Amino acid sequence: MGSVKDLEVIKRPTNNIMGIGRFHFSDRYSVFDWGEMPDQIDRKGEGLCMMGAYCFEKLMEENVETHYRGLVTENGKVVTFGELEQPTAIMEVNLVNVFRPETRTINGKLEYNYDVYTPNLKNCLIPLEIIYRNGLPQGSSIFKRLEQGLITIADLGLTRYPKPGDHLSHPIFDVSTKLEDKDRYTTWKEAQEIAKISDEELNEIKTILMKVDKIITRMASRAGLENEDGKIELAFDQERKLMVVDVVGTLDECRFTHNGLHVSKETAREFYRKTQWYNDVEEAKKTAETKQIDDWKKICKSQPPRLDPTLKSIISKMYMATTNETTNRKFLDTPSLAQVIKEYREYNGEKK
């Protein structure tokens, strides 16, 4: 399925009927589009699964359609989060078709053909990642895109140049491709053309995104966290109704902070940004784009190092504690999130 979870197909989707599958969340992690990294985060899979399930159920209470069916117990029974008695890393979902764009090289440049998508296509994944931003923490891609001239402050609806740590008076909605070799930010107009989305459907997508943002913000605030940004994926069901798919509201899909300190997968990214491997990744991506090389990883000069063992333990506790406190159920045996954050600050040499 991917670098952090595996998909078990129980019933394949057809053109007109959704299938059934089960996500098996692992303790693997990925940063900077590398894929599976050299070590694992203990009990991360259970944390992602249960946070995602809790968020899905809250969305459904707000009449937001999702592909979520329930959590799977040790004996294979499908239950709600409230019915769950023991931690699980398995979630049952409805499945839709995934239509990948065709690739072609024109004048030496790799291009993607999305002709498979039509205004009437149903029962399929929308090939986009939909992003909300409530703040611009250190590490936000917004700063790199502004620096490179890919966007302007006017595009973002801002009146001044932002700085890391800024909180926004209203959310910024963003969109990128999902099924290309490298995720690529697009305009909303291009996103509509890619997925053949009508104006009405686009308005509904933004309405859904706002609801998801508010629900995740409530979950985060319960744990004393700021919901800085996050992403969702959407699909059309067999009637071409929008539904939220994949997983939402976790430390992998969202960027949470506590007084400016990252409490999410960003903690691992911060560690790797200080390594030579990160520099090699950035160089390989630029070279691949310039020379039209399909797989930039093949030309990367080094392999990722392992996480520092102390940091790996802190990240594991961070995932578990955030799961306990956002869902208000202590399934995972770990210190409080406040204690974990204190430990992380001490690891970073802070006195707070």
User: What residue has token string 């605030």?
Assistant: 221
Q: Report the domain count for the chain.
A: 1
In a domain, 80, yes or no: yes
In a domain, 280, yes or no: no
In a domain, 293, yes or no: no
In a domain, 298, yes or no: no
Per residue in 153-200, pLDDT tens?
988 888 899 999 899 989 999 999 999 877 899 999 999 999 999 999
Q: For the range 179-186, what are the long-range contacts, defined as Cβ-Cβ under 8 Å and sequence gap of 24 or more? A: 179/98, 179/100, 179/101, 179/125, 179/127, 180/101, 180/112, 181/110, 181/294, 181/295, 182/33, 182/285, 182/296, 183/33, 183/129, 185/141, 185/145, 185/150, 185/151, 186/128
Helices (H) and strands (E) in the chain, counts: 8, 14
Evaluated on CA atoms 110, 131, 29, 267, the torsion sign reads: positive
Q: How far out from the chain centre does Cα 348 lie?
A: 25
The closest of 153, 299, 171 to 229, measured between CA atoms, is: 171
Tokens of 42: 């203990």
In a domain, 282, yes or no: no
Beta-sheet strands, E only, within the chain? 5-11, 19-25, 68-72, 78-79, 90-95, 102-106, 109-113, 124-125, 128-136, 166-177, 226-236, 242-245, 254-258, 261-262
- List the domain range (segments joined by +) for residue 190: 5-273+308-347
CATH, residue 178: 3.30.470.20
Q: Report how far residue 122's alpha carbon sits from residue 236's, in angstroms, rounded to the nearest whole number.
A: 6
SS3 227: strand
Query: Residue 342 corresponds to which amino acid?
Result: K
Question: Residue 110: what pLDDT?
Answer: 77
Per residue in 290-348, pLDDT tens?
887 878 899 999 999 999 999 999 999 999 999 999 999 999 999 999 999 999 999 98
Question: Band of the pLDDT at 350, cuts 50, 70, 90?
Answer: low
Rounded to 10 degrees, the C-alpha dihedral 205/104/181/237 comes to: 30
Contact between residue 237 and residue 18 where contact means Cβ atoms under 8 Å apart = yes
Tokens of 9: 């197909």
Per residue in 77-91, pLDDT tens?
999 999 999 999 999
In a domain, 256, yes or no: yes
The predicted model scores a pTM of 0.92
In a domain, 53, yes or no: yes
Per residue in 125-156, pLDDT tens?
999 999 999 999 888 899 989 999 999 998 88
In a domain, 217, yes or no: yes
Contact between residue 258 and residue 252 where contact means Cβ atoms under 8 Å apart = no
